[in-house]
């Protein structure tokens, strides 16, 4: 659908567009299926002085119970999908799920995307938060991208543009939107790739909440390495030690198998989740003297 003012939905409920299944309504809502439609929507918002929030799979968001001001755009752009077996690259629109990259690489015996198996959400959200697991992040394989600026301009950029860091890119703190991305992989052995993906999916299945239990994955970032160490300290271990698993606020509690997962057992409000997070931060600060930092993003009117 092209962008028109008439295509905008008003007071659109967002909670079912998040994996937490929590949150209020968007003042205005639009589903972008092409980059042109997204560009027009962003230009419209700029002309009307409306804030824009772009969402993908909603798997890293806590949306306020009071809803979101301005225009919320759902990235559903999926018209570019290109595998180059000579160069060993895959280029995709960012409205595709990260799972699409993993599946295409697997089907073409390209190695390098296996660690991302099972991470929910779109490629756009993944690049924004530099998603990763098993010691690898998307920044390790991204070689080129197309972005849309807040002013509605299209630009090709190299990875340096994103200023990637642990669970961070510049997209988190600027109004730039990534529309497509090219990933560098390497020729691999199909049976090894299959086995690694199967193993990772089984590990995730045993450790992570079932889809029906609302959550947004690891709630806090892992802590910086302790003195003399190189690996980050798992936030889940620290939380476990301060008794997080026995804590809850309203409908928000902690997943019994992983202390870094806040879950919505059905009736949690965004305010319950945020309040529980605040208590956890205070408890860890009191006992360990370190400040946990959220990996999830709070959006909307708080
Ligand atoms: C069960 C579970 C397990 C998880 N495991 C992991 C894991 O192992 N590793 C990990 O890193 N994460 C994990 N996550 C968190 C989440 O899946 C990732 O952060 C994911 O990459 C978010 O993508 P999304 O499309 O859902 O983004 P959303 O939640 O929709 O948005 C997140 C942020 O990205 C921005 N954004 C979205 N699309 C774009 C775009 N095209 N351009 C610019 N900005 C954009 C949004 O504005 C927002 O700030 C897990 C989540 C769940 C629920």
Per residue in 110-162, pLDDT (tens digit) is 999 999 999 999 999 999 999 999 999 999 999 999 999 988 899 999 999 99
Work out the percent of the chain whose per-residue pLDDT is above 90. 93
* CA-127 nearest atom, ligand 1: 21
Q: Is residue 209 over pLDDT 80?
A: yes
Q: Ligand 1: which atom is nearest the Cα of residue 216? A: 53
Catalytic sites, residue numbers: 167, 218, 295
Average confidence score pLDDT of the chain:
96
Q: Which atom of ligand 1 is nearest to the CA of 59?
A: 26
Question: 38 pLDDT band (50/70/90 cuts)?
Answer: very high
Q: Is the CB of 121 under 6 A from ligand 1?
A: yes
Task: Specify the pLDDT at position 227.
Answer: 83
40 with 30: CB under 8 angstroms? no
Terminal alpha carbon distance of the chain? 32
- Ligand 1 pocket, 131 CB below 6 A? yes
The rounded Å distance from CA 125 to ligand 1 centre is 4
Residue-wise pLDDT for 212-226, tens only, equals: 899 999 999 999 888
Give residue 209 CA to ligand 1 midpoint distance, Å.
16
Write down the pLDDT at residue 228. Answer: 87
The rounded Å distance from CA 120 to ligand 1 centre is 7
Instruction: Say what percent of the chain tops pLDDT 70.
Output: 100
Confidence of residue 99 (pLDDT cuts 50, 70, 90): very high
Rounded Cα gap, residues 65 and 251, in angstroms = 13
Over 80: is that where the pLDDT of 1 sits?
no
Q: Is the CB of 297 under 6 A from ligand 1?
A: yes
Residue 300: predicted pLDDT: 97
């Amino acid at each position: 659908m092209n962008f028109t003012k008439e295509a905008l939905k008003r007071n659109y409920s967002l909670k079912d567009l998040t994996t937490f299944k929590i949150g209020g309504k968007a003042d205005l809502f639009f589903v972008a299926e092409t980059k042109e439609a997204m560009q027009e929507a962003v230009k419209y918002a700029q002309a009307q002085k409306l804030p824009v929030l772009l969402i993908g799979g909603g798997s890293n968001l806590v949306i306020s119970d009071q809803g979101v001001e301005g225009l919320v755009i759902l990235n559903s752009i999926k018209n570019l999908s290109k595998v180059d077996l000579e160069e060993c690259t895959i280029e995709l629109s960012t409205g595709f799920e990260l799972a699409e990259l993993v599946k295409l690489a697997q089907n073409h015996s390209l190695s390098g995307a296996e660690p991302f198996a099972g991470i929910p959400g779109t490629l756009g959200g993944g690049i924004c938060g530099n998603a990763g697991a098993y010691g690898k992040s998307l920044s390790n394989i991204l070689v080129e991208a197309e972005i849309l600026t807040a002013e509605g301009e299209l630009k090709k950029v190299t990875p340096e543009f994103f200023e990637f860091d642990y669970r961070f890119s510049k997209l988190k703190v600027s109004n730039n939107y990534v529309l497509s991305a090219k990933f560098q992989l390497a020729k691999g052995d199909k049976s090894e790739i299959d086995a690694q993906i199967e193993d990772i999916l089984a590990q995730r299945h045993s450790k992570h909440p079932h889809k029906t239990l609302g959550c947004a994955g690891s709630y806090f970032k892992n802590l910086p390495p302790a003195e003399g160490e190189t690996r980050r300290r798992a936030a889940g271990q620290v939380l476990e030690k301060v008794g997080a698993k026995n804590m809850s606020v309203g409908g928000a509690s902690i997943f019994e198998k992983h202390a870094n997962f806040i879950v919505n057992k059905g009736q949690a409000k965004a305010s319950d989740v945020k309040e529980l997070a605040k208590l956890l931060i205070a408890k860890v600060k009191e006992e360990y003297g370190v400040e946990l930092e959220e990996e999830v993003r709070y959006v909307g009117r708080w």
